[in-house]
Amino acid sequence: MPSHYKGDLNRLRSLNAFINLMRASESVISRLQKRLSAEGLTASQFGALETLFHLGPLCQTELGKKLLKTDGNVTMVVDHLEKRGLARRVRAGEDRRYVSVQLTSKGRALIQKIFPRHAAAIQEEMSALSASEQETLRRLCRKLGRKNEITKKEIKK
């Protein structure tokens, strides 16, 4: 569904590209979320489990940065994971202000079980694109996602 904007061609192209990006993203996420829901997980909960599994214990702030989530959202996600016995908060002995989030053995077992299936589902979703198209999409998404970082570096020069 293209934009009905009747203005500048450059703006119209940008709007149409954005609409297509968002619709594709929402469509893929919706299909993947159905699989996660079968395990009783939200995408954020799965992301937290996967991040902790691959990177090890992290403080909530660092976990939030990895997941691109606010502190409040991460707190809620970790609360839910704790209630299910999938993760726990651990205070550092020497600095009790520092709290790391760690997987429990139950959380580790769950992510080890479902991650391979989730990765296969992503591969299936991405199979609509050739290997070359996937690489191009990856590069373009990274460029778009890092726009502010690049702009800030250019300003500092």
Tens-digit pLDDT profile for residues 91-113: 877 777 788 999 999 999 999 99
The structural domains of the chain, with segments of one domain joined by +, span: 1-38, 40-113, 127-157
**Fold adopted by 40-113:** Arc Repressor Mutant, subunit A (1.10.10)
Low-confidence spans in the chain with pLDDT less than 70:
1-3, 149-157
| Mean pLDDT, rounded, of the chain | 90
This model's pTM is above 0.85 = no
Query: Which residues, other chains included, contact 46 with Cβ-Cβ below 8 Å and sequence gap of 6+?
Result: 36, 39, 111, 114, 118
